[in-house]
């Protein structure tokens, strides 16, 4: 793989819908983009890939007028353009959909679709029947039957995404940029979305698709542009590349061992769960040992996350017992007692449950470990900073310093802060819920390595994941749940994805 | 697997079957949503039973309307700001300052219409300052309007010199004391103001943009809505409307003090919160605000009639605000 050298970008076919050349952008003197390029043809689905922090989001925001570039040029339909704001980009037909910012929940579907300056009106008075008809027309184009007068907040996630796509259509989008649109969708919903995207492509819309799920990219996209460290490395036809090639281009090296070696498990039982029963969990029993990584899998709704909640004391158990290092935990769900027993949970939703985005790295870590940084009720600023520095070093958190706000870090580094906060408690048992969701490959490998290091030091790790390769690569032992019960238990080494999947569907092979 | 997929992909039997379901709500949702209206009806029934001749007389009902007229105007102003997801603590003192300024201009010899317009401009000006602080300087609305509340309150003392202004031209009292078809003029003005605000919020692109901004400012901004401009003008309009309320009040009382309309702020907030429980989305809306104003008006009037003193009334107002907020948060948790 000659991935490290920049390859020439394929010559354009016909007129390009959007072309960004040599874009650079700095924030507070730190380069976010140095030489970003992207060209989008009409009627193609173009994947934009890169690790977290590679500059994808910044580039998208420049293409849609949210940020202005320091240097470089953008052309729309061959004409040079300068976007001073989102409105300008909309007028040029460049519209982006953001995963967490797709709709306004408190207004109707129709209003969401016509948001911006597109509501039909006479001298400022909205013509409602026409507005509703117009909104319905855009939804019809997407083959969606969503009541246009319903509050958008009452829709399912995929319907909300569809509403956002319809809004882009209402804005006459010729270039549609989607940022991780499938993160909260089920497999069937993803299929629906893909069908819609393909039909838009066939109508001549140029689609830029940002995703961490490489399988999706290969299923859906025509071309792919890969970014690394703020620069565009390569643009290729999807037919000409492999997943391995994409990964090595993204990380700039061979993926090598994504997962570290196993073999740290001991015979000393640390957590024993007996006939545990609670909401969505039925009669679950297992034992976890010091130095062991246990992976828990299952389909969404199988009870895997609820099991973790029961263990963490966030939910009430109605039957069974949990014993940690010889101590039986109270059944009523007592987070304090669980923490005292040396067991901590790293939650899935890092933005809402894991970190305070508005606070600094050091405050996030210190708040979870006040007893470590205070004496007699007084918090020592010096110890707060020291603790943060140690954690940042340990987990290789990339930041300007311990005082940087967590909200301004990349997703992978935010996740590391969540981990750091919990690890500073020096737990005996670490509960992880989707430890690498929405994180790029490079950071994933680091987090896996770190988990295994902890196991080598004797920590017991129980990780829930929806990704089977992750379960297989990371764990020593895998438990699969189905309808609240453990439907299969296998050693991870050499485990077969098909077998695991059949357990997931409750078919005992 | 294959079978389930075919079923879900099959075309739906009726045309747009979901549209009908739109209107349907669960029983608990309906009770929660109409709880505020039930409370209003309940209060009327209770006071009607306790004092059938006093409370339910035509004279007293007109009296209630007259009493809530100014609150309606100021609560209308508060509704506009709260639709955008912000908060205006200065509506009361802004009304006070507008009323006092208009009075001072009249006493200085300016013609009544000119003095009224200048008084309204004072309200608009305060609103624009609030809007500027919040929309363009990104100061949180609570802090910004708390600051203007204090400053504007001080200005009202300067304008009135700490005394009560009176002796304005007779023709000015027409605004607050005359009647049209038996209805007190403030009631007529309040109805017109409420109607205009209702139309603006529900049927104009500006009003709908305010709702979009209040629902999720980031999405609105990324969809090409000018969040700053919209927030600015919402505050500006709220200032103007508050000023209108203050001028009507001064005309009704025939005098302007340095604090005459200050108390309306808390009541206006209470009314809007009560009204928020009435909307599907939990957002501020004028119809709901009017119900909230009704509850406060009936409560104050009824408690007066059955002989409960004003201090107790104030305590009850606070309790009602907590109850309203609890009710609306309970609702959003269910939604």
B interface with A, Cβ–Cβ < 8 A, is 5, 8, 12, 16, 18-19, 21-22, 199, 203-206, 208, 211-212, 214-216, 218-226, 280-283, 335
Asked if residue B93 is part of any domain, the answer here is: yes
Residue A168 φ/ψ region, left for φ over 0, alpha for ψ in the -120 to 50 degree band, beta for the rest: alpha
Asked if residue B291 is part of any domain, the answer here is: no
Element (H, E) at A433: strand A429-433
CA–CA gap between residue A260 and residue B321 (Å, rounded):
58
Return the residue in B21, B224, B279, B334 with the most chain A beta carbons within 10 A, the one to mutate for interface testing.
Answer: B224
CA–CA gap between residue A405 and residue A65 (Å, rounded):
24
Q: Over 80: is that where the pLDDT of A275 sits?
A: yes
Interface of A with B in 448-477 (CB under 8 A): none
CA–CA gap between residue B48 and residue B63 (Å, rounded):
15
Three-point CA angle A202, A205, A211, nearest 5°: 100
The mean pLDDT value for B157-164 works out to: 93
**pLDDT of the residue at B33:** 66
Q: Which residues of A touch B8 (CB under 8 A)?
A: 188
- Given a contact cutoff of 8 angstroms between Cβ atoms, the answer to whether B257 and B160 are in contact is yes
Strand, helix or coil at A35? Answer: strand
CA–CA gap between residue B42 and residue A85 (Å, rounded):
52
Q: Over 60: is that where the pLDDT of B24 sits?
A: no
- Given a contact cutoff of 8 angstroms between Cβ atoms, the answer to whether B66 and B267 are in contact is no
Phi and psi angles of residue A70, each rounded to the nearest 5 degrees, phi first = -75, -40
CA–CA gap between residue A300 and residue A497 (Å, rounded):
17
Q: Which residue of B has its CA nearest to A144?
A: B16
**pLDDT of the residue at A254:** 55
CA–CA gap between residue A279 and residue A425 (Å, rounded):
29
Q: Over 90: is that where the pLDDT of A251 sits?
A: no
Higher pLDDT, B317 or B238: B238
CA–CA gap between residue A157 and residue A168 (Å, rounded):
17
Test A126 with B205 for CB contact under 8 angstroms. Answer: yes
How far the first Cα of chain A sits from its last, in Å, is: 40
User: Hey, CA dihedral for B185, B190, B193, B196, is it positive or negative?
Assistant: negative
Q: Over 60: is that where the pLDDT of A276 sits?
A: yes
Asked if residue B280 is part of any domain, the answer here is: no
Return the residue in A88, A101, A132, A191 with the most chain B beta carbons within 10 A, the one to mutate for interface testing.
Answer: A101
Asked if residue B256 is part of any domain, the answer here is: yes
Q: How far is A364 from chain B (nearest CA, A)?
A: 23
Asked if residue B179 is part of any domain, the answer here is: yes
Interface of A with B in 474-503 (CB under 8 A): none
Q: Over 70: is that where the pLDDT of B159 sits?
A: yes
Question: Confidence class of residue B32 from pLDDT cuts 50, 70 and 90?
Answer: low
Instruction: Closest CB to B222: pick one of A98, A105, A106.
Output: A98
- Given a contact cutoff of 8 angstroms between Cβ atoms, the answer to whether A429 and A271 are in contact is yes
pLDDT in tens, A183-222: 777 778 888 889 989 999 998 999 999 987 788 888 899 9
pLDDT in tens, B124-135: 999 999 999 999
Q: Over 50: is that where the pLDDT of B86 sits?
A: yes
* Torsion angle (degrees, nearest 10) of CA A475, A480, A486, A489: -50
Residue A437 φ/ψ region, left for φ over 0, alpha for ψ in the -120 to 50 degree band, beta for the rest: beta
Test A119 with B203 for CB contact under 8 angstroms. Answer: no
Q: Which residues of A touch B228 (CB under 8 A)?
A: none
Radius of gyration (Cα) for chain B, nearest Å?
22
Asked if residue B196 is part of any domain, the answer here is: yes
CA–CA gap between residue A330 and residue A338 (Å, rounded):
9
The lowest-confidence range among B31-35, B52-56, B110-114, B169-173 is B31-35
ipTM: 0.75
Highest mean pLDDT (candidates A176-180, A395-399, B73-77): B73-77
Q: Which residues of A touch B283 (CB under 8 A)?
A: 106
The mean pLDDT value for A476-494 works out to: 90
pLDDT in tens, A398-419: 888 899 888 888 778 888 898 8
**pLDDT of the residue at A498:** 77
Q: Which residues of A touch B199 (CB under 8 A)?
A: 125
CA–CA gap between residue A109 and residue B23 (Å, rounded):
15
Asked if residue B175 is part of any domain, the answer here is: yes
Question: Confidence class of residue A14 from pLDDT cuts 50, 70 and 90?
Answer: low
Q: Which token pair is B239?
A: 């200032």
Q: How many domains does chain B have?
A: 1
Question: Confidence class of residue B55 from pLDDT cuts 50, 70 and 90?
Answer: confident
CA–CA gap between residue B68 and residue B43 (Å, rounded):
16
Q: Which residues of A touch B282 (CB under 8 A)?
A: 106
Question: Confidence class of residue A2 from pLDDT cuts 50, 70 and 90?
Answer: very low
Higher pLDDT, B335 or A43: A43
Catalogue all structural domains in chain A, each as residue range(s) with its CATH number: 18-103+173-251 (3.40.50.300), 269-504 (3.40.50.300)
Q: Over 90: is that where the pLDDT of B53 sits?
A: no
Instruction: Closest CB to B220: pick one of A104, A125, A151.
Output: A104
The mean pLDDT value for B103-130 works out to: 96
Highest mean pLDDT (candidates A291-295, A469-473, B21-25): A291-295
Q: Which token pair is B84?
A: 């955008």
Q: CB-based contact (8 Å) between A125 and chain B?
A: yes
List all residues 6 or more positions away from B45 whose beta carbon is below 8 Å from its beta carbon.
Answer: none
Instruction: Closest CB to B224: pick one of A116, A145, A151.
Output: A116
Instruction: Closest CB to A101: pick one of B8, B218, B281.
Output: B218
Mean pLDDT estimate for chain A: 85
Test B21 with A105 for CB contact under 8 angstroms. Answer: no
- Residue B151's domain comprises 59-261
Output the DSSP codes for A84-137: SSHHHHHHTTEEEEESS-S--TTSBHHHHHTTTT---EETTEE-HHHHHHHHHH
Strand, helix or coil at A187? Answer: helix
Burial class (CB in 10 A: 0-12, 13-18, 19+), B278: buried
CB count in 10 Å sphere of residue A255: 15
The mean pLDDT value for A66-88 works out to: 90
Test A115 with B220 for CB contact under 8 angstroms. Answer: yes
Q: Which residues of A touch B216 (CB under 8 A)?
A: 101, 103-106
Bridge partners of residue A21, in order along the sequence: A73
Q: Which residues of B touch A122 (CB under 8 A)?
A: none
Q: Which of A169, A137, A163, A168 is nearest to A150 (CA)?
A: A163
Element (H, E) at B30: helix B27-50
The mean pLDDT value for A130-159 works out to: 89
**pLDDT of the residue at B67:** 86
Element (H, E) at A361: helix A361-367
Higher pLDDT, B129 or A377: B129
Asked if residue B225 is part of any domain, the answer here is: yes
Burial class (CB in 10 A: 0-12, 13-18, 19+), B68: buried
Q: Over 60: is that where the pLDDT of B19 sits?
A: no
Q: CB-based contact (8 Å) between A87 and chain B?
A: yes
Question: Confidence class of residue B8 from pLDDT cuts 50, 70 and 90?
Answer: very low
Q: Which residue of B has its CA nearest to A91?
A: B224
**pLDDT of the residue at B100:** 96
pLDDT in tens, B208-247: 999 999 988 888 888 888 899 999 999 999 999 999 999 9
């Amino acid at each position: 793989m000659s991935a490290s050298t920049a390859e020439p970008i394929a010559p354009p076919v016909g007129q390009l819908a959007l072309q960004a050349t040599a874009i650079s952008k700095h924030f507070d003197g730190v380069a976010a983009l140095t030489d970003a390029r992207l060209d989008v043809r009409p009627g193609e689905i173009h994947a934009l890939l890169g690790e977290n922090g590679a500059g994808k989001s910044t580039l998208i925001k420049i293409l849609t007028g949210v940020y202005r570039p320091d240097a470089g040029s953008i052309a729309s339909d061959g004409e040079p353009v300068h976007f001073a704001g989102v409105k300008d980009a909309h007028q040029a037909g460049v519209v982006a959909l953001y995963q967490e910012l797709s709709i306004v929940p408190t207004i109707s579907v129709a209003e969401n679709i016509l948001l911006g300056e597109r509501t039909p009106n006479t001298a400022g008075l909205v013509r409602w029947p026409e507005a509703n008809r117009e909104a319905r027309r855009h939804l019809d184009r997407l083959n969606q039957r969503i009541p246009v007068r319903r509050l958008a907040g009452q829709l399912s996630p995929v319907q909300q995404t569809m509403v956002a796509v319809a809004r882009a259509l209402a804005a006459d989008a010729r270039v549609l940029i989607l940022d991780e649109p499938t993160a909260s969708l089920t497999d069937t919903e993803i299929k629906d979305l893909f069908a819609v995207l393909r039909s838009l492509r066939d109508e001549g819309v140029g689609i830029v698709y940002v995703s961490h799920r490489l399988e999706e990219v290969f299923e859906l996209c025509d071309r792919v542009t890969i970014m690394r460290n703020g620069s565009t490395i390569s643009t290729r036809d999807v037919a000409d590349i492999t997943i391995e090639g994409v990964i090595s281009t993204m990380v700039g090296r061979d993926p090598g061992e994504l997962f570290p070696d196993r073999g740290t498990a001991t015979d000393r039982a640390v957590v024993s769960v007996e006939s545990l029963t609670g909401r969505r969990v039925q009669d679950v029993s297992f034992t976890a040992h010091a130095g062991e990584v246990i992976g828990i899998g299952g389909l969404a709704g199988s009870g895997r996350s609820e099991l973790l909640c029961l263990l963490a004391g966030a939910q009430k158990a109605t039957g069974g017992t949990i014993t940690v290092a010889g101590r039986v935990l109270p059944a009523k769900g007592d987070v304090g007692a669980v923490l005292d027993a040396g067991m901590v949970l790293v939650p899935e939703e890092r933005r809402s449950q894991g970190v305070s985005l508005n606070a600094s790295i050091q405050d996030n870590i210190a708040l979870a470990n006040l007893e470590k940084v205070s004496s007699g009720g007084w918090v020592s600023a010096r110890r707060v900073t020291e603790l943060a520095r140690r954690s940042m070093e340990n987990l290789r958190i990339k930041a300007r310093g311990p005082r940087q706000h967590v909200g301004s870090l990349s997703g992978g580094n935010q996740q590391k802060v969540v981990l750091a906060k919990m690890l500073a408690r020096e737990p005996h048992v670490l509960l992880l819920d989707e430890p690498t969701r929405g994180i790029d490959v490079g950071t994933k490998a680091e987090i896996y390595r770190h988990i295994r290091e902890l196991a080598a030091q004797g920590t017991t790790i129980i990780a829930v994941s929806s990704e089977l390769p992750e379960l297989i690569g990371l764990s020593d032992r895998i438990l699969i749940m189905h309808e609240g019960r453990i439907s299969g238990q296998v050693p991870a080494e050499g485990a077969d994805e098909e077998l695991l999947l059949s357990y997931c569907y409750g078919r005992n092979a | 697997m294959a079978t389930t997929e075919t079923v879900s992909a099959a075309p739906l039997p009726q045309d747009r079957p979901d549209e009908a379901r739109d209107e349907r709500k669960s029983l608990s949702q309906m009770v929660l949503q109409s709880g505020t209206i039930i409370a209003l009806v309940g209060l009327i029934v209770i006071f009607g039973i306790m004092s059938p001749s006093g409370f339910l007389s035509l004279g007293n009902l007109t009296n209630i309307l007259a009493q809530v007229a100014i609150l309606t105007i100021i609560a209308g102003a508060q509704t506009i700001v709260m639709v955008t997801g912000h908060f205006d603590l200065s509506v009361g003192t802004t009304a006070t300052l507008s009323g006092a300024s208009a009075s001072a201009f009249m006493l200085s010899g300016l013609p009544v219409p000119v003095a009224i317009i200048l008084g309204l401009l004072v309200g608009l000006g305060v609103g624009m300052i609030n809007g500027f602080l919040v929309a363009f300087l990104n100061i949180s609305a609570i802090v910004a309007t708390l600051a203007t509340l204090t400053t504007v309150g001080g200005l009202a003392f300067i304008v009135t010199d700490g005394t009560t202004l009176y002796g304005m031209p007779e023709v000015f009292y027409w605004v607050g004391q005359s009647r049209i078809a038996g209805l007190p003029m403030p009631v007529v003005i309040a109805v017109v103001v409420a109607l205009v605000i209702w139309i603006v919020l529900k049927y104009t692109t500006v009003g709908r943009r305010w709702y979009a901004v209040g629902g999720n400012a980031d999405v609105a901004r990324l969809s090409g809505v000018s969040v700053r401009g919209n927030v600015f003008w919402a505050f500006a309009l709220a200032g103007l409307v508050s000023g209108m309320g203050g001028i009507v009040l001064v005309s009704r009382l025939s005098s302007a003090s340095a604090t005459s309309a200050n108390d309306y702020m808390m009541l206006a907030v209470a009314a809007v919160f009560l009204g928020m429980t009435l909307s599907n989305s939990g957002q501020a809306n004028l119809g709901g605000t009017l119900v909230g104003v009704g509850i406060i008006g009936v409560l104050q009037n009824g408690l007066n009639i059955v002989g409960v003193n004003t201090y107790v009334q104030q305590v009850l107002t606070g309790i009602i605000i907590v109850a309203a907020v609890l009710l609306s948060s309970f609702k959003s948790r269910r939604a």
